[in-house]
Structure 1
Amino acid sequence: MCGALGWTALKLDMAKAYDRMEWGFLEGMLVAFGFDRAWILLLMMCVTSAGARGDIHGIRITRAAPSVSHLFFANDSLMFFRATQFEAQRVKDCLEIYSATSGQVINYEKSSAMFSSNTDPTTRALVTECVGVRETTDFGRYLGLPSALGRNKSATFRFIE
């Protein structure tokens, strides 16, 4: 990556994501985004009863693909922002508001940050300290896909076929 300004990718791990979600917050977000009331009622019925009983297991597109369900995105979030202490503090402030409003708790010990190659070590340290996460060079897999791609992209995504 070129340029003087580096970038941060922040992978957040939500602690017991499904157990802590405030269903009123979820319903309020669906209303705010303009979803039809009948759809919201159906979805709320599913997540508050069927999910709690273990009736929802998700589907697989292929044998090697991860199972997809309403919980698929509940545990991890990936965010991108400029690698500056100012933006890191704004992200941290937003995360605290989100946690207080939604009931979600971020597990900072399992969360991590990755930086573009043009981010200097001092800035990396300031950002990770501000957000309260560790630095990593590879997130491994995210949503079933590798977070870093090598030269042979065909081989990386062959399992999708």
Structure 2
Amino acid sequence: MSIAAELLVLSSKKQVMLSCAESCTGGMVAAALTDLPGSSAMFDRGFVTYTNQAKMDLLGVPEQVLADFGAVSEPVAAAMAEGALNGSEAALAVSITGIAGPGGSEHKPEGRVCFGVAHQGGTRTQTVEFGALGRHAVRMAARDHALALFLEELQKLPE
């Protein structure tokens, strides 16, 4: 069973809707979730916010947070996840912002992806260094990691 299929079963059982905010993955998480028949029972909506302006407009990411930390940062990932949670009917939201490549810099290398997870109990973030795997591979790895974060958090929620 795929992670998305596990999410459908578990989120339906716990009656929890999901939402996501994506930057570097451009909707790949939403696509993975909605590939399944019956996915409307678990997925409320997704936000693809590729530019800083979109992050501010659609998710309420503060301009100062973007200026202070840059789009690829845990504070921005947290604000994105919280924005997706607050802007949806979901009880659990995951966000992704990263550098898929090619390129990057000494301080923010290719393959660095920041994730946020938000629910009523709070928000947590993490950064994963996937490395310079190439754009497609980084995006796929980020998508899969986000799905795993959804599953991990759903398993913690009470029934």
TM over 0.5: same fold?
A: no
TM-score scaled by length of structure 2: 0.30
Q: Tell me: higher relative CO, structure 1 or 2? Use CA pairs within 8 A at least 6 residues apart.
A: 1
TM-score scaled by length of structure 1: 0.30
